[in-house]
Chain A
Amino acid sequence: MTLPSATPAPPDVGAGTVLALQGISKRFGAVQALKNIELDVRAGEVLALVGDNGAGKSTLVKTIAGVYTADDGTMVFDGRAVRVGSPAEAQQLGIATVFQDLALCDNLDVVANLYLGRELRKGRVLDEVEMERQSWELLRQLSAKIPSVRIPVASLSGGQRQTVAIARSLLGRPKVVMLDEPTAALGVAQTAEVLNLVERLRERGLAVILISHNMADVMAVADRVAVLRLGRNNGVFVVSETRTQDIIAAITGATDNAVSERAARRSREEGPAS
């Protein structure tokens, strides 16, 4: 295994980085939805993606998930430059996405939803026993509170449905999981459940990209926060060193680019002293 890899890893990708976007741009006709987006996420890290309505969050998620193809820029996954042409390709690559509508079938039970389209077979019949066993195993690993895996998804609470949707995304053994607004429209207890789940994913060594409007949730579970504004990067913040106010300022544009401005301010302050 000492052969050099066919495609050399781009030089500016840090160690442990699973997914990196470099200069991603996307245009819909006259609308420049994304411009020169830089983003990277490491294994075992929760990266929150925040921004105002129309900032380009959803477009970016769909670009990563393979729904849209970027006009420009490169995407580096696991040290290789990749092109994702379709959602199926992204999934095969190891990028799982849980969209806001969850895309669950209400009339099917939890097991059927988890294995929809990739049912385990034993000869010519479905291996229900094995699917049920593995479903329990997976939900147990996620410490999920699901009363039974044989009840229709329609009878589950919002948090439990979110859990099922996330569990389903994990079946393909992804390296990156993207959650689009997982806590929107949930009660407090259910939000807590989902946030705990995000922590579980992080502990499993997955790279998690969390899109959310709720700053309290973001600050509770994220390691870093990337702010998008009008389709552009507007700073990446390390949560443990940042106040919520700074991030909100970056979202609203109260500061054009909070990170660079803070760096400038610091160098101004330190300048005369040194």
Chain B
Amino acid sequence: MNATRPAPGSQASLREANRARVLGVVRQHGPLTQVEIAAASGLSAATVSNMVKELDQAGMVGLSRSIRNGRRAVLVSLASGGGLLAGVAFGERDVRVAIADESREILAQQLMPLQADHVADDGMERAARLLADLAETVSSGVENISAIGFGLPMPVDSVSGEAGSDAVLPGWRGVNVTEAMAGHLRAPVALDNTANLAALGELRAGALRGVRNGCYLKFSYGVGAGIVINGDVFRGSAGTAGEIGHVTIDENGPICRCGNRGCLDTFVGSRALINSLAASHGPLRLKDIVIRALGGDVGCRRVIEDAGRRVGVAVAGVVNLLNPEVVVVGGLMAEAGELILAPLREALDRCAIPSAAATVELRPAELGDEADIVGAIHRASVLSHSNISIS
């Protein structure tokens, strides 16, 4: 390889650097038009046009027709080398898996309900078998999976690859997911929190697209946040950034599963919401509460409003700290729409400093319950390319 590399500083090496830059931009953002590549890479339109022509001839990118701003455009995407990307996103009660091609287009996906407190082995086994099944439906084998993006609804240690010790799912505590899953499928695994993955998904393909500083609030069985700083997801020093669910709301409140008192989760987590309706409505699931609230049930509406208000107070803290442009609200609870957004917005306006609150925009998520899996696919894509460049 080294023998053919052009001399440093030469025009040929500059050309190669530009080429790598174009490829890098397409890798990072998915299919783009040439104008968008020029904007994202800082290269001139003429250079990009030349590079794309060369790359196309070399078979490294694929071109397809598309429409941008009402005008015809040519979409540049990475040529698929037959490699597949896999995404796995666990929820408290389900797992969603997807298979995508090199250009991150999802080819097949499936949601599977799971037992509420399943054990990690069982969950991973099912996810692996689902992936194998799906890989077959896209007429390819499981051995073609080049990387897996793996999401868990709990803090994960990005350094060691272990699930957090204060996990929502007790069956997953302290499990080394990266190793175990790589053993199941013989492919490298990128482990992340589902809130971070969902933020990544919305950032690349949803409501956070083009936002430099933003926040994705995942309000489901628990509350988590994915923080976007400078156009990328911020993970903190060990991957636990954005654990908004464990912000202390009431220092004398009930004990949380993390061991502290009065965390946000103890007030707005699924268990708290379900318990508050247990006496009047009997045993419900979180989804039932949302469906009933949308159907006009006053009790369920009240519970959702109160939860929205509490979360709004915590989000106000995030807004004060980070001054984001956009806060996107997603997750199961966000399916209640304005029922939850209105009180959340009200609390946010009241508790954040006026200048920050005035500039922040509260948006519903665009990708719905697929945000996590889209993010997982993007993580897998980045991982597979970094592996290729290493090897």
Contact B129 A192 (CB under 8 A): no
- Chain A 15-42, CB-CB to B under 8 Å as 1, else 0, gives 0100000000000000000000000000
With A188-B126, A192-B130 already in contact, the answer to whether A220 and B113 are too (CB < 8 A) is yes
Is the CB of A263 closer than 8 A to any CB of chain B?
Answer: no
- In residues 186-237 of chain A, which contact B (Cβ within 8 Å)? 187-189, 191-193, 195-196, 199, 203, 216, 219-221, 223
- B-side interface residues, number (CB < 8 Å): 21
- In residues 66-110 of chain B, which contact A (Cβ within 8 Å)? 93, 110
Most chain A beta-carbon neighbours within 10 Å: one of B93, B118, B283: B283
Contact A189 B130 (CB under 8 A): yes
| Chain A interface mostly | helix
With A192-B111, A195-B112 already in contact, the answer to whether A187 and B287 are too (CB < 8 A) is no
Contact A195 B288 (CB under 8 A): no
Is the CB of B291 closer than 8 A to any CB of chain A?
Answer: yes
- Chain B 124-135, CB-CB to A under 8 Å as 1, else 0, gives 001001100110
CA of A214 to CA of B112 in the docked complex: distance in angstroms? 14
Is the CB of A94 closer than 8 A to any CB of chain B?
Answer: no
With A189-B133, A192-B130, A216-B122 already in contact, the answer to whether A223 and B283 are too (CB < 8 A) is yes
Is the CB of A44 closer than 8 A to any CB of chain B?
Answer: yes
Contact B116 A240 (CB under 8 A): yes
Most chain A beta-carbon neighbours within 10 Å: one of B114, B115, B122: B115
Contacts of A239 in B (CB 8 A): 116
Is the CB of A155 closer than 8 A to any CB of chain B?
Answer: no
Is the CB of B137 closer than 8 A to any CB of chain A?
Answer: yes
How many chain A residues sit at the interface, stated as a range, is 20 to 34
Is the CB of A107 closer than 8 A to any CB of chain B?
Answer: no
CA of A240 to CA of B130 in the docked complex: distance in angstroms? 25
CA of A216 to CA of B121 in the docked complex: distance in angstroms? 13
Report which of A188, A195, A203, A238 forms a contact with B113, defined as CB distance below 8 A: A195
With A219-B115, A221-B113, A244-B115 already in contact, the answer to whether A188 and B129 are too (CB < 8 A) is yes
Contact A193 B116 (CB under 8 A): no
Contact A192 B110 (CB under 8 A): yes
Contact A193 B110 (CB under 8 A): yes
CA of A223 to CA of B284 in the docked complex: distance in angstroms? 9
Contact B115 A220 (CB under 8 A): yes
Contacts of B122 in A (CB 8 A): 216
Q: Which residue of B has the minimal Cβ distance to A199? A: B113
Contact A203 B291 (CB under 8 A): yes
Contacts of A221 in B (CB 8 A): 113
Contacts of B283 in A (CB 8 A): 223, 238, 240
Contacts A196-B111, A244-B115 known; 12 new A-B pairs at CB < 8 A:
A16-B282, A44-B288, A188-B133, A189-B130, A192-B111, A192-B130, A193-B110, A195-B112, A195-B113, A216-B115, A223-B283, A238-B283
A contact residues vs B (CB 8 Å cutoff): 16, 44, 187-189, 191-193, 195-196, 199, 203, 216, 219-221, 223, 238-240, 244
- 28 interchain pairs, CB-CB under 8 A: A44-B288, A187-B133, A188-B126, A188-B133, A189-B130, A189-B133, A189-B134, A189-B137, A191-B112, A192-B110, A192-B112, A192-B130, A193-B110, A195-B113, A196-B111, A196-B112, A199-B113, A203-B291, A216-B115, A216-B118, A216-B122, A216-B126, A219-B115, A219-B116, A220-B113, A223-B283, A238-B283, A239-B116
